[in-house]
Amino acid sequence: MGALFSLGVVIALVLVALVGVKGAHLQSLFGVVIPYLAVITFFIGLIYRVVKWGKTPVPFKIPTTCGQQKSLPWIKYSKLESPATGWEVFLRMALEVLLFRSLFRNLKMQRSGERVVYGSAKWLWLGGILFHYSFLVVLIRHLRLFTNPVPSFVRLIESFDGFLQIGLPNLMMTGVVLLGAATYLFLRRIYIPSVRYISLPADYFPLFLIMAIATTGILMRYFIRVDVIKVKELTMGLARLNPTVPDGIGTIFYIHIFLVSTLFAYFPFSKLVHLGGIFLSPTRNLANNSRMVRHVNPWLYPVKVHTYEEYEEEFREKMVSVGIPVEKPLETKETEEASEEESEGKE
Amino acid sequence: MYDGGKIITGIIIFLLFATFPFYYNIGKAHVKPDPKLDTPVIKQLKEKKCVESKSYMRAYHMQLLDDWRNQALRKANRTYRNEEGKLFEISLQNTCMKCHSNKQKFCDECHKYAEVKPYCWDCHFVKEAKEGGAAR
């Protein structure tokens, strides 16, 4: 259900751009206004979310650990699984962000006769890492449309990406890998019953959207070609904040840019914001040093305490009368009077 | 904000990467490509028309050339029939470059702008152009 709904939304988006450009000739709306609004939404939304997370207090040290904690000097501790210093946290975070380490440790539970066995399950990690890195390369490659002269690193990445020299224009491997990985991530949600059960439209929609973006991009590069020079005139106008809309760019370009704008605008409101969220995960970015450094709850306020001394002072007579042992014995009347007399005598 | 210094540093680093195209182009002149069609051969043509229509050539010329390469070298077919049924000799050097003899001011003009490095010239050599001299 969720999948069909999301597919329907993406198809509707394609139709909106198709009708808007082919029918209503709203080239400047789809080529300039919407992309700008989307990028502004993306930046403001993302920063807002990150700042909001930054303002949220973390009352406890809650790093997830799966290794020996640092304690006595002769006990070897696990620096990555239970980081004790900021540097070790940095290393752990870097491996998490760059290599998706926690996904790599994904396990699958299976029954082997009467026994339960845990085996490694790397497919999700492989699909995820291929998806993210190809998306990164595709993004960097697109800089050739937004810079003039094009910086050399873009040229370098593009020459590696088109290394196979299949067809003309050269086949870019990452484009195909991106579409393939996104398709795998979608099929995984459909075919694994437990994953399908927990999948929502918010899980399917970004996948369909990215699949549609990759498809329109591939179509535009290899099959329904557009005049790249005019496209670059438009995109350079966007980057130089001096927008122009050249005539005669194919509709497929406007569909592509409208879907990309949707992705940018949708980003801060969705699960995609894990781009920033991963850095602010308290279970990952805190050091497990609660034995060495006191973590003060940020919302700690002065608590009214009633110590045992005060308690005993208040109830001593009652405690003694029912036979509860007290720390300070009850002072008898005579001794009190005697002490009073003594003090009076001194005066 | 808790750990505000670190978070704001992170946001600034992110913005430096993400807004790259917006500040990279500042102060750089935006020269639009202007391919020249003023070679002597083209000037003498009565009907100034390429192998296929202008819009088709602008978008698909690389696929046409790829097809020409495969036809000529792999299938030994040296004749191309265009949309209108007109016949052309399949040859980069003798057909394309006969009119567009100004590689620097025709081919390279757009290829540089779009950052495309065609590998035609890995095998072909550029004839001495009558205008602008040899390219490459």
B116 is a domain residue: yes
| Domain tally, chain A | 2
Query: For residue range A99-108, what is the model confidence (pLDDT) as tens digits?
Result: 999 899 888 8
**pLDDT grade, residue B12 (50/70/90)?**
very high
Chain A CA closest to residue B30: A148
Q: How many CA atoms lie within 13 A of A221 on its CB side?
A: 21
ipTM: 0.88
Same domain, A176 and A261: yes
Query: For residue range B68-112, what is the model confidence (pLDDT) as tens digits?
Result: 999 999 999 999 998 888 899 999 988 998 889 888 889 999 999
Give the CATH number for residue A243: 1.20.950.20
pLDDT at A10 over 90: yes
Interatomic CA distance for residues A148 and B32, integer angstroms:
10
DSSP symbols for A80-120:
TTS--SHHHHHHHHHHHHHH-HHHHT-EEEEEETTEEEEEE
Q: What is the mean pLDDT of chain A?
A: 91
A229 is a domain residue: yes
Residue A257 · residue A31 · CB < 8 Å: yes
| Structure tokens belonging to residue B107 | 């081919």
B119 is a domain residue: yes
Domain extent at residue A316: 308-346
Inter-chain touch A55–B25, beta carbons under 8 Å:
no
Q: Sign (positive/negative) of CA torsion A132, A134, A140, A146?
A: negative
Same domain, A43 and A139: yes
Inter-chain touch A227–B33, beta carbons under 8 Å:
no
DSSP symbols for chain B:
-TTHHHHHHHHHHHHHHHTHHHHHTTT------------HHHHH-SS---SS-HHHHHHHHHHHHHHHHIIIIIS---EEE-TTS-EEE--IIIIIHHH---TTTTHHHHHHHTT---THHHHS-PPPPSSS----
Phi, psi of B88 (to 5 degrees): -135, 150
Interatomic CA distance for residues A113 and B46, integer angstroms:
85
Helix (H, G, I), strand (E, B) or coil at A211: helix
Residue A70 · residue A56 · CB < 8 Å: no
From B21, B32, B60, residue closest to A147, measured CB to CB: B21
Residue where a domain terminates, one of A235, A253, A285 = A285
| Peptide bond connecting A282 to the previous residue in cis, omega within 30 degrees of 0 | no
Interatomic CA distance for residues B129 and A86, integer angstroms:
64
> Among B24, B56, B66, B69, which would you mutate to test the A interface (most chain A Cβ atoms within 10 Å of its Cβ)?
B24
Interatomic CA distance for residues A199 and A197, integer angstroms:
6
- Kindly state whether A279 is in contact with chain B, defined as any CB-CB distance less than 8 angstroms: yes
Q: Tell me which residue of B4, B117, B5 sits closest to A161, measured CA to CA.
A: B117
pLDDT at A343 over 70: no
B136 is a domain residue: no
B19 is a domain residue: no
| Domain tally, chain B | 1
Q: Quick count: other Cβ atoms within 10 Å of Cβ B104?
A: 17
The CA distance from B47 to the nearest CA of chain A, in Å, is 23
pLDDT at A300 over 80: no
Inter-chain touch B21–A168, beta carbons under 8 Å:
no
A293 is a domain residue: no
B7 is a domain residue: no
- Containing H/E element for A63? none
Same domain, A77 and A218: yes
| Peptide bond connecting A169 to the previous residue in cis, omega within 30 degrees of 0 | yes
Same domain, A81 and A116: yes
Same domain, A244 and A143: yes
Same domain, A250 and A324: no
The CA distance from A109 to the nearest CA of chain B, in Å, is 38
Q: What is the pLDDT of residue A132?
A: 97
Query: For residue range A135-152, what is the model confidence (pLDDT) as tens digits?
Result: 999 999 999 999 988 999
Interatomic CA distance for residues A17 and A14, integer angstroms:
5
Q: What is the pLDDT of residue B84?
A: 87
Q: Token match 């122009």: residue?
A: A244
Same domain, A76 and A203: yes
B42 is a domain residue: yes
Domain extent at residue B95: 31-123
Inter-chain touch A225–B117, beta carbons under 8 Å:
no
pLDDT at B128 over 70: no
A291 is a domain residue: no
From A58, A167, A239, residue closest to B21, measured CB to CB: A239
**pLDDT grade, residue A281 (50/70/90)?**
very high
A302 is a domain residue: no
The CA distance from B92 to the nearest CA of chain A, in Å, is 15
List the single range of A49-53, A234-238, A260-264, A301-305 with lowest mean pLDDT.
A301-305
Contacts of A147 in chain B (CB under 8 A): 20-21, 24-25
